[in-house]
Amino acid sequence: MPLLRRLRGLKGLWGAVGCVGIVVGLALLGDAFRRYSAAFFIAWASLPLVSFFYRRSEYATLVPSGTANRFRALLMSLAVILSFCAFANDDHVRDTLGYRYVQGYYVDSYEDYDSDTGQPYLATDAHADRSRDFALLEFALWVYLAACIGVPWVTWRYASAVCAMAERRKQAQPQQSPDAT
């Protein structure tokens, strides 16, 4: 019995260590996203393509349902994590595109106290010389934010189609009785 209590205590300890690890991992992932944005975007945009071509391939007709479910879980976890990183860093993406493609783009940063908690925070305002260019940049940002939702959704649709094919194929196979040898 004392061994069981020790194991329960370790479970709680490993759960706390896991939570701290997730928070540190997300912080490091955000820093890596800002540093290597192009690589993250390529990986993020390729996930729906991978699931689409996986569905179209001949391999999709041969894969067992358990493997298809694991592959869908892997694709979806990557899609959700990368979409979360993309959504959390939308200001970085806006500023990168603005400095590169919009003439006269600049960002004002100032400390503001107008939050719900009354605590100061750093607010930013983006500006450009021509309002048409700035409006196009804002439209591109809305498309980008829609892609943060669309990428996991499309990945889910195509990967689920493979799982459904595997499940239909599994149910179509004749069942063997355990007594037959």
Asked whether the beta carbons of 92 and 37 are under 8 A apart, the reply is yes
**Tokens standing for residue 21:** 């690890």
pTM: 0.71
Mean pLDDT, to the nearest integer, of 170-179? 70
| Residue type present at position 9 | G
SS (H, E, C) 74-97: HHHHHHHHHHHHHHHCHHHHHHHH
Asked whether the beta carbons of 71 and 159 are under 8 A apart, the reply is yes
| Residue type present at position 8 | R
Tens-digit pLDDT profile for residues 152-163: 999 999 888 888
pLDDT band at 181 (very low <50, low <70, confident <90, very high): low
Bridge-based pairing state of the strands 121-127 and 106-112: antiparallel
Residues 6+ apart with CB under 8 A from 123: 109, 110, 111, 112
pLDDT band at 175 (very low <50, low <70, confident <90, very high): low
**Average pLDDT over the chain, rounded to whole?**
80
Tens-digit pLDDT profile for residues 4-19: 555 555 566 666 677 6
Phi, psi of 57 (to 5 degrees): -80, 165
Phi, psi of 8 (to 5 degrees): -65, -40
Mean pLDDT, to the nearest integer, of 172-179? 67
- For the chain, what are the domain ranges? 1-35, 37-171
User: Is residue 160 helix, strand or coil?
Assistant: helix
| Residue type present at position 109 | S
Tens-digit pLDDT profile for residues 87-108: 888 888 888 888 888 888 888 8
